[in-house]
A and B are shown apart, each in its own frame.
Chain A
Amino acid sequence: MTDATKYLSHLELGGPDKTYLDSNELIINMGPQHPATHGVLRVILKLDGEKVLGTECVIGYLHRGVEKIAEHRTYTMFNPYVDRMDYVAAVSNGLGYCEAVEKLLNIEAPPRANYIRVILTELNRLASHQLWLGTHALDIGAMTPLFYTFRDREEILKIFEKYCGARLTTHAFRIGGCQYETYEGFERDVKKFVDFARPKIVEYEELLTTNRIWLERTKGVGKISAKDCIALGVTGPVLRASGVKWDLRKAQPYANYPEFDFEIPIGQNGDTYDRYLVRMEEMRQSLRIIEQAVAKIPEGPIMAKVPKVMKPAVGEIYHSIEAPKGELGYFVVSDGSTQPYRVRVRPPSFVNLQALDLMVRGQLVADVIAVIGTLDIVLGEVDR
């Protein structure tokens, strides 16, 4: 009895109409050690029974001070660090940073290097989306897709490993081009992978796209309008699923993307199901780009003429690319020395995570899991 009053004292129980049974609010702490928060995200949930009244994200458990490290490394030395941010799409991170510094130095990567960059980046987009699909499906309770996607992602990682020796944090590119020439049989491997992956995407879709339970769990869940997306700065597949045709590969072309023929899939409803469909279609489009790129990859040098000691002129640059998760931007300030004065990263995961509260308010606990999955966040990138 005394225990009960102790717990209830803060609830300011009034008359008989305001009993303990009416005060259903429950604060639940989800994470940082939780199987469905994709790393070390901590979400504080305020619940009314199963209904979510509000959420608060607590981040920073994986903060490594990547941006600060940049200020004490030369431009080249900092390059491997960016791979550690979004570790499931390390190649994209590297591409963004390299291109930003190249812009600052006023150099351009040779065509062959650009082709290699596009192939690897798109392979990485595919790998990232596969990982997303597997874990997202697992969160919603379908175990099997996870193993299918991991089996196929393995083939991509094998190509990475053969190319540069690393599987995840690849450090595949250098400022000014690529460090390594492609290995013997690279084109053949990539072509083989494209043929291998096409039917696999159909396989994932067979498991989920028309599954009744999957439809019920994802349709109308975590809706976000295009207006809200733009207001919050949400980018990537989440924005496109809300109906905005915004893809930096087309909107602000970089590398040699204008040379390829591909489409930007968009959704209409901005719910979890549309985001799922958009990402599935993006996988197909990535395969299309890879196929075109590998067919007309030119011969030539892979490195531009880059000074041994990089000393960009005083100035600043913002360069952004379309990472698998959205707009990944690098703001690099040079003070004329060998080390950047400041590197600021605009991580898509961090910005997209802001939308979580808006998307889950009024929905159920199970939807929080679905929405965290569909936002496709990587905590390494959120916290940096």
Chain B
Amino acid sequence: MLDYITSYLSDSVKITPGQAGNVFWALVYILIIFGGVSVAVIAMNWLERKALAHFQIRLGPMRVGPHGLLQPIADALKLFTKEDIIPAAADKLVFWIAPLIILCASFTTYIVVPFGPAHAVTDLNIGILFMLGVSSLAVLGVVMAGWASNSHYPLIGALRSSAQMVSYEIAMGLAVVSAVLMTSLNATGTGTLSMIGIVHAQQAQHVWFLFKFFPLGLIAFVIFAIAMVAETNRAPFDLPEAESELTAGFHTEYSGLRWSLFMLGEYAAMIAVSSIAVTLWLGGWMRPFPNALTGETWDLVFSLFPGFTFLALSVFAFVGVIRMPKHPYFRLQTMGLAGFGAVLGLIGLILFVPPVRDRVQDIYWFSAKVAGFMYLYIWYRATFPRYRFDQLMKVGWKVLLPVALGVLIVTAILGVLL
């Protein structure tokens, strides 16, 4: 039993617990991912509000905790304690199930997300297909929510939303296929749909698929990057929840905990599609320049990044401590921020320990790339006006789809010729 549990701790493990049939570690991974994604959503919530505020020359949350660090928790508590309202005319069962479907759909996809060569719950041989399939189930939840609310605004919101998600999935799928085609171009010539296999293929071909066949990979990536914003209903494609037109779109009638489930699902889906993009085009868990900057020294330098990142965050926290107003009212907050900084610093120090360092590297690079996408999401939201529905459809069907098809065909031809 103990052997079974410790079997996954040795450095030599190169396969995921799911593949190894190790149920214990698979469950642990599921729990870690569930917790990690939830924490990431909370962090994203805070960061979005802060970053957006700074784009817009305001401060954002500042009251609850130092620099509003506890604001997401306060909001969550508020949502939990709110009255649970189901409109009288609503279809209660469907109304109740809809947010759960969205939540489950977005969290289930994480089973195949490869945070590292061995850091995934399991390695399905149809991983990318599974991911696209399950994440598109969220449409079902949206339609159900809109229909069950039995009200005009949610209905229109849901119709828009489902039309949008379904149309963009096609361009998205074609872009994904062109990336998958690239996997079959390595020396051994075996194509794969496995998420881990795709990253290994990039490793074998010594190139991120972003730069493969130079503009082609990039174009496919851009198509995916646009389609994924539309897929997750974020600005500038956020018409399903266009506040100024349809108040809140398909979740107009939702409040409290149920509404927060929608939000949780939306943010989780954002992270999920970003991780598809990272896996397919940005080399997944691989550190930058694994081929150009080789050797023990470079390995060591890059392996110190996670620790230094946390130390830098800790320094930020301590700068915040120094800049806190010197007033008894802020004493508790200052102490809290200092404690937070200390914890971050401690984590940073732990990440310098060699065995930990080697094991978390993959996770770190993967998360850093995903975080870049999260920042893009916030950036879009601060800069762009909203598309109109017909324009959105035009972009999807008349621009992205033909271009994606063209890229797919050219990739296939190049694949045969080279």
Give A contacts to B, CB under 8 Å: 26, 28, 34-36, 50, 137-144, 146-148, 151, 207-208, 211, 213-214, 216-217, 364-369
Task: Specify which chain A residues have a CB less than 8 angstroms from the CB of B244 in the assembled complex.
Answer: 35-36, 138-141, 369
Contact B57 A369 (CB under 8 A): no
Among B56, B152, B153, B390, which residue has its beta carbon within 8 angstroms of that of A144?
Answer: B56
Contact B390 A142 (CB under 8 A): no
Contact A211 B385 (CB under 8 A): yes
Let me know if B78 is at the binding interface, CB within 8 A. Answer: no
Let me know if B236 is at the binding interface, CB within 8 A. Answer: yes
Contact residues of B between 350 and 403, Cβ < 8 Å to A: 381-391
Task: Specify which chain B residues have a CB less than 8 angstroms from the CB of A146 in the assembled complex.
Answer: 56
Give B contacts to A, CB under 8 Å: 52, 55-58, 152-153, 156, 235-236, 238-239, 242-247, 381-391
Contact B245 A50 (CB under 8 A): no
Contact B389 A366 (CB under 8 A): yes
User: How distant is the Cα of A306 from the Cα of B164 in the complex, in angstroms?
Assistant: 66
Contact A213 B57 (CB under 8 A): no
Closest to A147 in B: B56
Given A26-B152, A144-B55, A151-B57: A217 touches B243 (CB 8 Å cut-off):
no
Closest to B243 in A: A35
Contact A213 B152 (CB under 8 A): no
Task: Specify which chain B residues have a CB less than 8 angstroms from the CB of A50 in the assembled complex.
Answer: 156, 389-390
Contact A35 B386 (CB under 8 A): no
Contact B236 A141 (CB under 8 A): yes
Q: Nearest Cβ distance between residue A46 and chain B, in whole angstroms?
A: 12
Task: Specify which chain B residues have a CB less than 8 angstroms from the CB of A142 in the assembled complex.
Answer: 383-386
Contact B383 A144 (CB under 8 A): yes
Q: Nearest Cβ distance between residue A271 and chain B, in whole angstroms?
A: 14
Interface of B is mostly: helix
Task: Specify which chain B residues have a CB less than 8 angstroms from the CB of A214 in the assembled complex.
Answer: 385
User: How distant is the Cα of A34 from the Cα of B381 in the complex, in angstroms?
Assistant: 22
User: How distant is the Cα of A172 from the Cα of B392 in the complex, in angstroms?
Assistant: 48
The 22 sampled A-B contact pairs (Cβ below 8 Å) are: A26-B156, A28-B152, A35-B244, A141-B235, A141-B238, A141-B384, A141-B385, A144-B56, A144-B383, A147-B57, A207-B383, A211-B385, A213-B386, A216-B387, A216-B391, A217-B385, A217-B386, A217-B388, A365-B246, A365-B389, A366-B242, A366-B389
User: How distant is the Cα of A146 from the Cα of B52 in the complex, in angstroms?
Assistant: 13
Q: Nearest Cβ distance between residue A213 and chain B, in whole angstroms?
A: 5
Contact A217 B245 (CB under 8 A): no
Task: Specify which chain B residues have a CB less than 8 angstroms from the CB of A141 in the assembled complex.
Answer: 235-236, 238, 242, 244, 384-387
Closest to A207 in B: B383
Contact B385 A137 (CB under 8 A): yes
Q: Nearest Cβ distance between residue A320 and chain B, in whole angstroms?
A: 33
Residue with the greatest number of chain A CB neighbours at <10 A, chosen from B235, B385, B391: B385
Task: Specify which chain A residues have a CB less than 8 angstroms from the CB of B153 in the assembled complex.
Answer: 28
Tell me the number of A-to-B contacts counted with CB atoms below 8 Å: 84
User: How distant is the Cα of A151 from the Cα of B56 in the complex, in angstroms?
Assistant: 10
Task: Specify which chain A residues have a CB less than 8 angstroms from the CB of B390 in the assembled complex.
Answer: 50, 364
Q: Nearest Cβ distance between residue A103 and chain B, in whole angstroms?
A: 42
User: How distant is the Cα of A28 from the Cα of B156 in the complex, in angstroms?
Assistant: 10
Task: Specify which chain B residues have a CB less than 8 angstroms from the CB of A148 in the assembled complex.
Answer: 56-57
Q: Nearest Cβ distance between residue B130 and chain A, in whole angstroms?
A: 34
A-B interface, 5 closest residue pairs, ranked by CB to CB distance from nearest: A141-B386, A36-B244, A147-B56, A142-B385, A141-B385
Among A147, A208, A213, A369, which residue has its beta carbon within 8 angstroms of that of B245?
Answer: A369
Among B235, B236, B245, which residue has its beta carbon within 8 angstroms of that of A366?
Answer: B245
Q: Nearest Cβ distance between residue A94 and chain B, in whole angstroms?
A: 31
* Given A28-B152, A141-B235, 6 extra CB contacts under 8 A: A141-B244, A148-B56, A213-B386, A213-B387, A365-B246, A366-B388
Task: Specify which chain A residues have a CB less than 8 angstroms from the CB of B56 in the assembled complex.
Answer: 143-144, 146-148
User: How distant is the Cα of A365 from the Cα of B235 in the complex, in angstroms?
Assistant: 18
Among A35, A207, A208, which residue has its beta carbon within 8 angstroms of that of B247?
Answer: A35
Residue with the greatest number of chain B CB neighbours at <10 A, chosen from A28, A137, A144, A367: A144
Closest to B239 in A: A366
Contact B247 A34 (CB under 8 A): yes
Contact A216 B247 (CB under 8 A): no
Given A35-B244, A36-B244, A366-B239: A140 touches B386 (CB 8 Å cut-off):
yes
User: How distant is the Cα of A147 from the Cα of B54 in the complex, in angstroms?
Assistant: 11
Task: Specify which chain B residues have a CB less than 8 angstroms from the CB of A151 in the assembled complex.
Answer: 57
User: How distant is the Cα of A7 from the Cα of B384 in the complex, in angstroms?
Assistant: 40
User: How distant is the Cα of A206 from the Cα of B87 in the complex, in angstroms?
Assistant: 45
Closest to B52 in A: A143
Task: Specify which chain B residues have a CB less than 8 angstroms from the CB of A217 in the assembled complex.
Answer: 385-388, 391
Task: Specify which chain A residues have a CB less than 8 angstroms from the CB of B247 in the assembled complex.
Answer: 34-35
Task: Specify which chain A residues have a CB less than 8 angstroms from the CB of B385 in the assembled complex.
Answer: 137, 140-142, 208, 211, 213-214, 217
Q: Nearest Cβ distance between residue B128 and chain A, in whole angstroms?
A: 30
Q: Nearest Cβ distance between residue B291 and chain A, in whole angstroms?
A: 37
Q: Nearest Cβ distance between residue B132 and chain A, in whole angstroms?
A: 27
Task: Specify which chain A residues have a CB less than 8 angstroms from the CB of B387 in the assembled complex.
Answer: 141, 213, 216-217
User: How distant is the Cα of A364 from the Cα of B55 in the complex, in angstroms?
Assistant: 31
Among A34, A138, A216, which residue has its beta carbon within 8 angstroms of that of B388?
Answer: A216
Task: Specify which chain B residues have a CB less than 8 angstroms from the CB of A34 in the assembled complex.
Answer: 247
Closest to A373 in B: B244
Contact A143 B381 (CB under 8 A): yes
User: How distant is the Cα of A208 from the Cα of B386 in the complex, in angstroms?
Assistant: 12
Closest to A363 in B: B388
Residue with the greatest number of chain B CB neighbours at <10 A, chosen from A34, A141, A143, A365: A141
Closest to B236 in A: A213
Q: Nearest Cβ distance between residue B83 and chain A, in whole angstroms?
A: 20
Q: Nearest Cβ distance between residue B388 and chain A, in whole angstroms?
A: 4
Q: Nearest Cβ distance between residue A272 and chain B, in whole angstroms?
A: 12
Q: Nearest Cβ distance between residue B240 and chain A, in whole angstroms?
A: 12
Contact B245 A365 (CB under 8 A): yes
User: How distant is the Cα of A93 from the Cα of B57 in the complex, in angstroms?
Assistant: 32
Task: Specify which chain B residues have a CB less than 8 angstroms from the CB of A365 in the assembled complex.
Answer: 156, 245-246, 389
Task: Specify which chain A residues have a CB less than 8 angstroms from the CB of B388 in the assembled complex.
Answer: 216-217, 364, 366-367
Q: Nearest Cβ distance between residue A326 and chain B, in whole angstroms?
A: 24
User: How distant is the Cα of A141 from the Cα of B387 in the complex, in angstroms?
Assistant: 8
User: How distant is the Cα of A34 from the Cα of B58 in the complex, in angstroms?
Assistant: 25
Among B58, B238, B242, B381, which residue has its beta carbon within 8 angstroms of that of A147?
Answer: B58
Closest to A215 in B: B385
Q: Nearest Cβ distance between residue A37 and chain B, in whole angstroms?
A: 9
User: How distant is the Cα of A260 from the Cα of B283 in the complex, in angstroms?
Assistant: 64
User: How distant is the Cα of A353 from the Cα of B135 in the complex, in angstroms?
Assistant: 45
User: How distant is the Cα of A148 from the Cα of B152 in the complex, in angstroms?
Assistant: 34
User: How distant is the Cα of A138 from the Cα of B388 in the complex, in angstroms?
Assistant: 14
Task: Specify which chain A residues have a CB less than 8 angstroms from the CB of B382 in the assembled complex.
Answer: 143-144
Task: Specify which chain B residues have a CB less than 8 angstroms from the CB of A137 in the assembled complex.
Answer: 385
Q: Nearest Cβ distance between residue B45 and chain A, in whole angstroms?
A: 17
Task: Specify which chain A residues have a CB less than 8 angstroms from the CB of B246 in the assembled complex.
Answer: 365
Closest to B381 in A: A143
User: How distant is the Cα of A332 from the Cα of B387 in the complex, in angstroms?
Assistant: 47
Q: Nearest Cβ distance between residue A231 and chain B, in whole angstroms?
A: 28
